[in-house]
């Protein structure tokens, strides 16, 4: 049986061009700064996100954690959204390993933070009151359904934080998707934040890796955090080579994923038992709620999987589909058919493209 895996864009495989680049990559000891391919990737990444320098890390979690540890002193609070990936899916690492308590404020419908909430959350400097170390934003916003925040929204939060001397970190795991949606360059989305983490291993299809970017002195200090976390590598050029191909070749095609996600969402929204806010379908993620009480979400996932369709869950009745490079238009059509077979009991006509 053919498997259509829409759980995440992290399931993407390296392209043939990436594999060729990996096989012929020039390498050296990256811990001594001697891997020419890693150096090239870091320079390219920094330029593409409009920052002075960048550091290659094995994962998005390590990129975010390195940022938290570099920006903050032990005991400082990190302000973040209650629906953020940092809060839900990163093992509470900043708190567990860095002694950084999380100060949670509500995420808006599109993953935005209200600047007034941020202002109220930043602590006064007083004995006994925990200092505020950092404000974190996320773009695109995973649990909100791949939604995008604009440069104006980012700047409004950054201005409030900076007025109080607090830096801002952007979890931009899918920042290239956000830029594609808005028709802007990534630097326009990062200019008012102090650091940004983005992933090569999601929609961009590289097998491994993320980058943390920011001012040169910040990245120099972040390298110490990466080393402490065990994330400093040796001949990492072998994997960084795929990252270069990801940045040079895979960014332009992201709108294809956005179009397929939209097409899928519009059809899904018409099926019984599904509540889907089409306004939030902006990039490659489709988040929706299973409102048909006859279905338990786990049972639905099982019924879909039995027909070859894999999707993921946000917990509760909220489910997620992610469009990505590995899936053809015909497979999206088949995915819709499977949904229809399961929820309605009969195959739906293949939608017009
Ligand atoms: N997101 C993954 C996992 O949560 C399963 C996914 O499938 O969406 N920030 C954001 C916004 C992310 O979505 C992710 C990964 C990360 C950070 C962490 O990246 P990795 O998994 O490379 O450590």
Distance CA 308, CA 334 (A): 10
pLDDT digits (tens, 9 = 90+) for 165-215: 999 999 999 999 999 999 999 999 999 999 999 999 999 999 999 999 999
Closest Cα to atom 9 of ligand 1:
173
Q: Return the CATH fold of 4-9+253-343.
A: 3.90.1150
Distance CA 252, CA 244 (A): 14
Quote the ligand 1 centre to 175 CA distance (angstroms): 12
Closest Cα to atom 21 of ligand 1:
60
Give percent above pLDDT 90 in the chain.
Answer: 96
pLDDT digits (tens, 9 = 90+) for 211-261: 999 999 999 999 999 999 999 999 999 999 999 999 999 999 999 999 999
Distance CA 217, CA 227 (A): 16
CB of 61 within 6 A of ligand 1: the answer is yes
Which of ligand 1's atoms lies nearest the C-alpha of 90? 18
Residue 323 has pLDDT above 90, yes or no: yes
Residue 344 has pLDDT above 70, yes or no: yes
Quote the ligand 1 centre to 173 CA distance (angstroms): 7
Residue 352 has pLDDT above 50, yes or no: no
Peptide bond into 140 cis (omega under 30): yes
Residue 195 · residue 65 · CB < 8 Å: no
Q: Tell me if 4-9+253-343 shares its fold with 12-250.
A: no
Q: Considering the chain, what is the average pLDDT of its residues?
A: 97
Closest Cα to atom 18 of ligand 1:
60
Q: Return the CATH fold of 12-250.
A: 3.40.640
Closest Cα to atom 16 of ligand 1:
60
Quote the ligand 1 centre to 326 CA distance (angstroms): 18
Query: With left for phi above 0 and alpha for psi between -120 and 50, is residue 57 left, alpha or beta?
Result: beta
pLDDT digits (tens, 9 = 90+) for 90-140: 999 999 999 999 999 999 999 999 999 999 999 999 999 999 999 999 999
**Domain boundaries along the sequence of the chain:** 4-9+253-343, 12-250
Give percent above pLDDT 70 in the chain.
Answer: 98
Residue 292 · residue 272 · CB < 8 Å: yes
Q: Is 145 exposed, middle or buried (0-12, 13-18, 19+ CB in 10 A)?
A: buried
Residue 238 · residue 21 · CB < 8 Å: no
Quote the ligand 1 centre to 115 CA distance (angstroms): 25
Distance CA 78, CA 96 (A): 13
Short-list 20, 44, 320, CA closest to 186:
44
pLDDT at site 346 = 55
Closest Cα to atom 3 of ligand 1:
89
CB of 142 within 6 A of ligand 1: the answer is yes
pLDDT at site 127 = 96
Quote the ligand 1 centre to 344 CA distance (angstroms): 32
Q: With cut-offs at 50, 70 and 90, classify the pLDDT of residue 345.
A: confident
């Amino acid at each position: 049986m053919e498997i259509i895996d829409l759980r995440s864009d992290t399931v993407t495989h390296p392209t043939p061009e990436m594999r060729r680049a990996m096989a012929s990559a020039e390498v050296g000891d990256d811990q001594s700064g001697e891997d020419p391919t890693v150096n090239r990737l870091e320079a390219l990444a920094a330029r593409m996100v409009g920052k002075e320098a960048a550091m290659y890390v094995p994962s998005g979690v390590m990129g975010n954690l390195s940022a938290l540890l570099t920006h903050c002193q032990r005991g400082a609070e990190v302000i973040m959204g209650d629906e953020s990936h940092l809060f839900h899916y990163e093992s509470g690492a900043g708190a567990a390993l860095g002694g950084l308590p999380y100060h949670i404020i509500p995420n808006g419908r599109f993953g935005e933070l209200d600047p007034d909430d941020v202002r109220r959350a930043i602590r006064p400097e007083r004995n006994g009151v925990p200092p505020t170390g950092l404000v974190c934003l996320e773009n695109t916003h995973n649990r909100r359904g791949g939604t995008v925040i604009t440069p104006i929204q980012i700047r409004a939060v950054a201005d409030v934080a900076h007025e109080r001397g607090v830096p801002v970190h952007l979890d931009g795991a899918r920042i290239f998707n956000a830029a594609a949606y808005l028709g802007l360059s990534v630097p326009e989305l990062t200019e008012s934040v102090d650091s940004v983490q983005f992933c090569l291993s999601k929609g961009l299809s590289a097998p491994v890796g993320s980058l943390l970017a920011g001012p040169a002195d910040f990245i120099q200090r972040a390298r110490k955090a990466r080393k402490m976390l065990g994330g400093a590598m040796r001949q990492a050029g072998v994997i960084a080579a795929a990252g270069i191909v990801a940045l040079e070749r895979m960014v332009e095609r992201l709108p294809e994923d956005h179009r397929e996600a939209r097409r899928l969402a519009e059809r899904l929204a018409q099926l019984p038992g599904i509540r889907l806010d089409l306004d939030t379908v902006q990039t490659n993620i489709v988040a929706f709620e299973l409102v048909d009480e006859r279905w338990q979400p786990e049972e639905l996932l099982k019924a879909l999987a039995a027909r070859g369709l894999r999707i993921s869950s946000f917990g509760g009745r909220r489910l997620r589909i992610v469009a990505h490079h590995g899936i053809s238009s015909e497979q999206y059509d088949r995915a819709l058919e499977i949904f229809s077979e399961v929820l309605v009991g009969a195959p739906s006509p293949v939608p017009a493209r």
